[in-house]
Amino acid sequence: MRAEVLLEGRGVTKRFGGLTAVSQVDFELHRGEILGLIGPNGAGKTTLLDCLTGVEPANEGTITFAGQSLIGLKPHQVVKRGIARTFQVVQPFPTLTVRDNVAMGALFGSTRAHKDVRRAQTVADEKLAFVGLTNKADQPAAQLTLGERKRLELAKSLATEPELLLLDEVNAGLNPAEIKTAIDLMRKIRDEGVTLLVIEHVMKVIMDLSDRVIVLHHGEKIAQGSPDDVTNDEGVVRAYLGEKYAKLLALDR
Amino acid sequence: MMNRVARNTLGFTLAPIFVAAILMTAFTVQAADVIKFGAALPLTGPLATEGKKQQNGFEIWREIANSRGGINVGGKKMKVEMVYYDYESKSPTATKLAERLITKDKVDILIGPFGSGATKAVAAIAERYKIPMIAPTASSEAVYDQGYKHLFGLLAPNGFLPSGFFDTVTKLNPKPTSMAFVTRNDFFPKAITNMMRKASKKYGFTDVYYAEFPKDSKDMSTWLTVVKSKNPDILMVGGYVGDLILATKQAKELGVNPKIIFMMAGPVYQQYADALGDTSNNIMSAAWWSETFNYKGRVIGTAANFADIWMKKHNQVADYVGAASAASGVVAHLAIEKAGSIEASKVIAAISSLKTDTFFGPVEFNKGGQNIGSKIAIFQIQQRQRKTIYPLDISDGKLVYPRP
Amino acid sequence: MSRGETRGGYTTVSANDVLLSVTGLEGGYDQVQILWGVDLEVSAGEMVAIIGSNGAGKTTFLKTISGVVPSRAGTIVFDGIALEGATAKEIVERGISHVPEGRRLFGPMNIEENLLMGGYARGLKDHELAADLERVYGIFPILKERRKQLAGSMSGGEQQMCAIARGLMARPRLLLIDELSLGLAPRLVEQLCANLVEINREGVAILVVEQDVLTALDLAERGYVFESGRIAMSGTSDELIANQEVKRTYLGI
Amino acid sequence: MIYLQILVNSVLLGGMYAAIAVGFSLVWGVMNILNILHGTFLMLGGYITFWLFHLYGVDPFLSLPLSAVAMFFLGYFIQLGIINQVIRASFFMTLVLTFGLELIGVKMALFFWTGDYRSVQTEYAGYSFQVGGVVIPLVRLALFGLGLLLTGGLFWFMAVTRTGRAIRAVRIDLEAAQLMGVNPAKIYATTYGISAGLAGAAGALVSAGFAISPVTDVEFLAKSFVICVVGGLGNITGALAGGLVLGLVENFGALYFGPGLQNALGYAVLLLVLFIRPSGLLGRAGYH
Amino acid sequence: MFPIWTKNQWLALWLGIAVLVAIPQFTDNDGTRMWMDILMYMILAMSWNFIGGLTGYPSFATAAFFGLGAYTTAILMNHGAPFLVAMPLGGVVGATVALLLGILILRLRGHYFAIATYGAAEGLRELAENLEITGAADGINLPQIEGTVDYFTQYFYYSMLAVAVLTVLTVYWVTRHRLGYGLVAIRENEDAAGMLGVVATKYKIVAFMLSAIFPAMAGGVYAYRAAFVEPIDVFDVLFSIEAIVMALLGGVGTIVGPLLGAFFLELINDFLWSHFLEFHTAFLGLIMVLVVIFTPRGVMALVQEVRKKGGLRALGGILLANTQRFKV
């Protein structure tokens, strides 16, 4: 009783010079689910998102979204198809206010493009309320703390009214309380009908949140399945979680 | 908060506009007993030296005129007042300042800027405002063929040069037969070089090379190398003094050695010989005036007289730029006395029909407003000094030919 | 300077002298204050760790110590001398070397040039630094092999070695290391830790900022936990690792 | 033969262009300043040489080091006292600043020395010798040699000396360099001083090969600009490459299309290089 | 970002325009002409602001467009076109060249873009120096305007004012429209803007064209007024530099900044011109140096800071703090 496949990649490969950053990766994403994407540093997670969004076009493979190919599209075209993305290193428009930052998303990214600036700002205010940044709306984005910037990034993406949201380590560097808020937020987003693909380092988030998990290592997919399956996979433990994780698990028991 | 700041800033912008607008409405008073002359001069920028010479020239005339109580206007002596602005050697600024001289300073007569190009630009303004304008240093016919009624130029037309030059060189033995022409891509140099080129055909010369080099050229080696390979008897270079110093230097370095090198205009200036030393020897050029000319007029006296005053004041050999500038004042001086009025239309009529002698030579304007009374002298630098070769009646030297 | 003896070229002092003492330190950038009253001590010859999430102010703290970022309030006393307001140059000359986050090697220069830059503050001619070069090559033999290679072309681990070696060239008594393990394979991190222990044994006090809490607390004797520009906790490594809050927050269990 | 002569002319010119541009390139590369004052230093160096020659008969080759040293100190203190104050402001602010200083400098020079063209006319000024029918003018050859010497010397300085290394370090990573104990204010002043000194040295010989006047500074500035971009911003050997390319393009362009388009061709090459290889012929991509 | 204007601000704008319309009635022809110059530089500075201030692509091409407009007007009028046809066509030519040039060079960023625009402007000048149609280095005359001094002074003044008002309204429209947001997004972070769906190439070209059309029209007015154009004058790179300096001094990327910068600099310039015959350039240089050192972020930023910190009493402190702000 699987939901429809929203995003599908087959044999996606990206090379930089001699280095193969993403190698023959197959994946699919079902409408309404949260898919976790994990793997050690340099495993190719962010590069895979780059391939999806047209930042770094894939060398090989096919990517289809809602039945249409994404290959060859520029980032701004991908956005208009309904795919929004946050960046690992947040990229706000530094001197603009938080509200204007989000309004940019509504003005340009949305499939229903709000051509009117005032309406875009209304949308921006809604999204800021959604992520809990209303009180910062008039501050320049450069003055936000890291956690706030991450939420701003999220609000900006949401303002494009996406069907699919790609989150690149939105929780990195957040404290436990903030992470908890973030998880709730992501659930809320999903409940509004947005499909999520989440790159995450904090295992707790992946375990709590994802319906399914894909593990990348050296650009290759080495495992996929439910969070529990994956964390118990021996290959994954060896490649990614490492001895220390095992040690910790032991320590906890 | 942004709104308030923006609003206040807007107010901040508008307030001075109001104040300035109100201040602007007032004044400009004109004293009745002075005649105002206005000149926009290139006191800074590439033409700064020329501009300064122009100013010095005007001042010599003004001091002389005022020391005699001023100009006699229908029995009333009126002092001369000069208003100067610096146009930074940029023609648009010259036109802007000319407008200001006319409307704000309310000058009666405009003295032209330096050179044919800027004069052409400013003449359009004088014509529009119907103010008499005397151009000391514009000799190109193209400045005067616009049908302007208010423009008068002191220098003899470029067209006077070829006859003198070719009269001189065709009598030489062995007779030169081929010429190469190179000019700076600029109004005056191009005009005079092309005029000479056209005339050379009439005199039976073969034209072996013609080229233009850009303004601000820092290297003349290519065309010099080509000229060398064509081996002309005469090389003519049109340009300004900086170009000509460089061209002379590089010609020597590259061993470009035609029998005659003729350059317009620059060797007439002291700085040319100073910069080049002996390398300047045997270069030919022409000038609209020289202190050796036996000219004499009512206001300043003889040409030599002017040169003396100049030397005393500025410790420098006078050249045609300063002389023509002083002469512009003299022409206006004589015309106003003749008209007995400073009314523009009367002054124009007086200048148009003026026929007189001055320290700068005879003055008589043709229909376009060019001084056809004047002559062009051809000279050669010998032992770093200018020696006049032509016209023969005022010559003080013999042409060294061919160049050693 | 006045105290201690010279051993192996490095000045050493007995272990319980306070070398660096920071009280009530406040600081930050242009409009954003990041540090809100930090108290911290490092004794001579000690190895201390700072842990905390991204954006907690760890890097800003180190930069404030080394004089790249000006302090706004509080005192920094190093070896009995107040350092607030001193320039970066004076601070290096006093004996604090800072190995910055992300290595910040001079990429287009070769290794040896990078190391010589490390000794710049001492105002010596190149040949006078030869003995120091040999000493750091002794600790990191791979650097000697590659000394003519451009720093930018080396692997992450080698770059980190070079960065630490460069820091040592100034003959510091306190070495500040920011994000030792960032982006490095575990094997390399172990190697680097061993190097640090060796350097520490020679009498150089080390203050290391590290995101990998296990590595940090494994290495250091004591640790401080930064949160939002303040010190949330401090104690010996064993105390910290046993702390439930630390476990939950930073180890994800 | 004519081609060979023009080739030689071009190469000699190119070397001189390098001498003019190398200091400009250094300041642009290290400090990201488009230094409008560069031409002014060149002109001042020329005037020092001129006056020493004119008043005391000092040969330009002898006064060259003096011009260089004088300009070094002038540049050093201008950077330390004025430009350092706003060096971290936007690129355009330093541009406006040096532009303002240039206006002042040129006016002062006009005031003291008038706008007359001056040139140092030594005994050997017009001397040239022939090699297989190709004329090689001595002063041009010296200018060419100076170009090689200055670019080579600067290259050596940057590669080998402690200060050169510090300059490079500051250029690569200012903050990391500060952590090494480099005082950027002094390094910037030194860099600017070196650039001014190089301009002073070039100016000394330019006064022998050309005519200088206070207003000729912009002409050399415009050339420096094109040369630097063509060779690669902030790249020392790039100045030499850029100078040679510009020399060749100008001269052979003048031969084929007429000298009138000499300067236009320079700009055409500039644009062409920007389209094809924005980092310049020898530039490293991505450097700002 | 840019607040929607309040009623008062609109009032102020129309009042300002009304004052400018009335100026020829209150001042003599020389005063009118000074205002015409101020308006011209306002046009140049505001136009530069589209590409340089809002979009963050520093252009030196203002002079190129100014010259193109001047020459187009001159050539068309010599072929019998009336001024009011020729001048807007000059704007069209400017915009068209901006379009073509933009396609070629707007993929360059930062300095490289600046250099390319400089090269293009100087290249155009050199071209105009050598082409038949532009009269080469001799320049070309335009037909003389007929009428009294008052008439033609006002004719030129109102032509310039019309272009200036058009520019201001365009600035207003752009900054309150999606387009302006897109341009600012490109300035702030072009990659991130692209990810949000801003079609950077298209927006940059539009900004470049906007930065071309008004200077080209101003060039047309200028040419008719001067009645004579030559390459070295109308393609003078100083037009670009002055536009940049004015925008910088006023405050880059703001709306009122370039207006203020043009107003003050031209006023100062005019004052120096009248009072210091030979040293006005040196004084101008000195003023530029002092302004850069004491207000390195422009007059607008200073004004805002003075307001925030409690009026003119804080000015000294702010100026002093400014000198420290960008120190190494």
Residue pair B116/B139 in contact by the 8 Å Cβ criterion: yes
Query: Residue C92 contacts by C-beta under 8 Å, 6 or more apart in sequence?
Result: C66, C121, C170, C172, D179, D180, D181
Which chain C residues have a beta carbon less than 8 Å from that of A242?
186
Least confident of A165-179, C133-147, D94-108: A165-179
Task: For residue A51, give the DSSP letter.
Answer: H
Reported ipTM: the value is 0.83
pLDDT digits (tens, 9 = 90+) for E19-61: 888 888 888 888 888 899 899 999 999 999 899 888 888 888 9
Containing H/E element for B17?
Answer: helix B2-25
Q: Cβ separation of B103 and E19 shorter than 8 Å? A: no
What does the alpha-carbon distance between residue D171 and residue D188 come to, in Å, rounded to a whole number? 10
What does the alpha-carbon distance between residue C26 and residue C61 come to, in Å, rounded to a whole number? 9
What does the alpha-carbon distance between residue A155 and residue A173 come to, in Å, rounded to a whole number? 18
Query: Residue A74 contacts by C-beta under 8 Å, 6 or more apart in sequence?
Result: A54, E194
pLDDT surpasses 50 at C4: no
Task: For residue D283, give the DSSP letter.
Answer: P
Query: Residue A5 contacts by C-beta under 8 Å, 6 or more apart in sequence?
Result: A28, A29, A30, A31
What does the alpha-carbon distance between residue B55 and residue C23 come to, in Å, rounded to a whole number? 72
pLDDT surpasses 80 at A19: no
pLDDT digits (tens, 9 = 90+) for B390-404: 888 778 888 888 888
Provide the pLDDT for residue C112: 93
Provide the pLDDT for residue A218: 79
Which chain C residues have a beta carbon less than 8 Å from that of A244?
186, 214
CB-based burial of residue E276 (10 Å sphere; 0-12 exposed, 13-18 middle, 19+ buried)?
A: middle
Provide the pLDDT for residue A238: 63
pLDDT surpasses 80 at A145: no
Provide the pLDDT for residue B4: 40
Cβ atoms < 10 Å from Cβ of D114 = 17
Radius of gyration of chain D from Cα atoms? 19
Least confident of A4-13, A36-45, A55-64, D210-219: A36-45
Task: Pick the most confident of B69-73, B100-104, B270-274, D62-66.
Answer: D62-66
Hey, which residues does A223 pair with through a beta bridge? Answer: A215
Q: Cβ separation of D274 and E326 shorter than 8 Å? A: no
In this complex, the residue of D175, D180, D284 whose CB is nearest that of residue C117 is: D180
pLDDT, average across residues B272-280: 89
Least confident of A210-219, A241-250, D15-24, D218-227: A241-250
Assign A155 to helix, strand or coil: helix
- For chains C and A, having 3+ Cβ pairs within 8 Å is answered yes
Provide the pLDDT for residue D184: 92
Q: Would you call D106 an interface residue with chain E, using a CB distance cutoff of 8 Å?
A: yes
Name the residue with tokens 């001397």.
Answer: D127
B/E interface, count of CB pairs below 8 Å? 153
Residue pair E142/E77 in contact by the 8 Å Cβ criterion: yes
User: A14 in the Ramachandran plot: left (φ > 0), alpha (ψ -120 to 50) or beta?
Assistant: beta
What's the maximum distance between 2 C-alpha atoms anywhere in chain B? 89
Provide the pLDDT for residue D229: 85
The more confidently predicted of residues E98 and A73 is: E98
Least confident of A195-204, B117-126, C35-44, C168-177: A195-204
Bridging pattern class, strands B34-41 and A220-225: unpaired
Provide the pLDDT for residue A176: 64
Bridging pattern class, strands C222-227 and C47-52: parallel
Provide the pLDDT for residue C77: 93
pLDDT, average across residues B203-223: 90
What's the maximum distance between 2 C-alpha atoms anywhere in chain D? 59
What does the alpha-carbon distance between residue D192 and residue D23 come to, in Å, rounded to a whole number? 8
pLDDT digits (tens, 9 = 90+) for B139-171: 888 888 888 889 999 888 888 889 889 988 888
What is the three-state SS of E23-34? HHHHCCHHHHHH
Q: What are the 10-residue block averages of pLDDT along chain E, 328 residues in total? A: 73 86 83 89 92 88 93 92 92 94 84 85 87 78 82 90 93 86 89 84 92 95 88 85 85 81 86 82 88 84 81 80 78
Containing H/E element for A52?
Answer: helix A45-53
Provide the pLDDT for residue B8: 45
CB-based burial of residue B75 (10 Å sphere; 0-12 exposed, 13-18 middle, 19+ buried)?
A: exposed
Q: Cα distance from E181 to chain A (closest Cα, Å)?
A: 7
Which of E52, E43, E61 has its CA nearest to residue E124? E61
Alpha-carbon torsion, ordered D211, D214, D219, D220, to 10 deg: 80
Task: Write out the E strands in chain A.
Answer: 5-16, 19-30, 34-38, 60-65, 68-69, 83-85, 164-168, 195-199, 212-217, 220-225
Provide the pLDDT for residue C15: 46
Residue pair A94/A142 in contact by the 8 Å Cβ criterion: yes
Residue pair C43/C203 in contact by the 8 Å Cβ criterion: no
**pLDDT-derived band at D284, boundaries 50, 70, 90:** low
Provide the pLDDT for residue C171: 92
In this complex, the residue of C68, C93, C126 whose CB is nearest that of residue D179 is: C68
Alpha-carbon torsion, ordered E99, E100, E103, E106, to 10 deg: -70
pLDDT surpasses 70 at B17: no
pLDDT, average across residues D39-51: 94
Neighbours of chain E (3+ CB pairs under 8 A): A, B, D
Alpha-carbon torsion, ordered B292, B244, B145, B209, to 10 deg: 120
Which of B299, B262, B274, B287 has its CA nearest to residue B401? B262
Residue E306 CA: distances (Å) to CA of B4, B333, E9, E251, E311: 13, 58, 20, 14, 5
Percent of chain E topping pLDDT 90: 26
Name the residue with tokens 């009623």.
Answer: E7
**pLDDT-derived band at A113, boundaries 50, 70, 90:** low
pLDDT, average across residues C192-216: 89
**Upper half-sphere CA count for residue D199 (Cβ side, 13 Å):** 33
Residue D72 CA: distances (Å) to CA of B177, D78, D198: 54, 10, 8
Assign D178 to helix, strand or coil: helix
Q: Cβ separation of A252 and C253 shorter than 8 Å? A: yes
Helices (H), chain D: 2-31, 38-56, 60-81, 91-113, 138-160, 162-172, 174-179, 184-209, 217-231, 236-257, 262-276
Which chain E residues have a beta carbon less than 8 Å from that of A80?
197
pLDDT digits (tens, 9 = 90+) for C148-196: 999 888 888 889 999 999 999 999 999 999 988 877 777 788 889 999 9
- Give helix then strand counts, H and E, for chain B: 13, 15
Which of E114, E128, E137 has its CA nearest to residue E55? E114
Q: Cα distance from E12 to chain B (closest Cα, Å)?
A: 7
Residue-wise DSSP of D77-110: HHHHHTGGGGTTS-HHHHHHHHHHHHHHHHHHHH
Provide the pLDDT for residue B21: 45
Provide the pLDDT for residue A112: 64
Which of A202, A213, A142 has its CA nearest to residue A172? A202
Which E residues 162-221 touch B at CB under 8 Å?
none
What does the alpha-carbon distance between residue B299 and residue C54 come to, in Å, rounded to a whole number? 89
Residue-wise burial string across B368-395, b where 16 or more C-beta atoms lie within 10 A, e elsewhere: bbbbbbbbbbbbbbbeeebbbbbeeebb
Which residue of D180, D236, D284 to mutate against C (max C Cβ within 10 Å)? D180
Compute the mean pLDDT over every residue in chain D, rounded to the nearest whole number.
88
Q: Cβ separation of A175 and C31 shorter than 8 Å? A: no
Residue pair B331/B294 in contact by the 8 Å Cβ criterion: no
CB-based burial of residue C120 (10 Å sphere; 0-12 exposed, 13-18 middle, 19+ buried)?
A: buried
Q: Cβ separation of D91 and E104 shorter than 8 Å? A: no
pLDDT digits (tens, 9 = 90+) for C24-71: 999 888 767 888 899 999 999 999 999 887 678 888 999 999 998 888
> What is the residue type of B69?
G
Task: Write out the E strands in chain E.
Answer: 140-141, 228-229
Which chain E residues have a beta carbon less than 8 Å from that of A74?
194
Provide the pLDDT for residue B200: 93
Residue-wise DSSP of chain C: --SSEEETTEEE--TTSEEEEEEEEEEEETTEEEEEEEEEEEETT-EEEEEE-TTSSHHHHHHHHTTSS-EEEEEEEETTEE-TT--HHHHHHHTEEEE-TT----TTSBHHHHHHHHTGGGT--GGGGHHHHHHHHHH-HHHHHTTTSBGGGS-HHHHHHHHHHHHHTT--SEEEEE-TTTT--HHHHHHHHHHHHHHHHTT-EEEEE-S-HHHHHHH-SEEEEEETTEEEEEEEHHHHHH-HHHHHHHS--
> What is the residue type of A199?
I
Task: Pick the most confident of A103-112, B251-260, B385-394, C53-62.
Answer: B251-260
Residue pair A54/A227 in contact by the 8 Å Cβ criterion: no
- Give helix then strand counts, H and E, for chain A: 10, 10
Radius of gyration of chain B from Cα atoms? 23
Residues in chain B: 404
CB-based burial of residue A191 (10 Å sphere; 0-12 exposed, 13-18 middle, 19+ buried)?
A: exposed
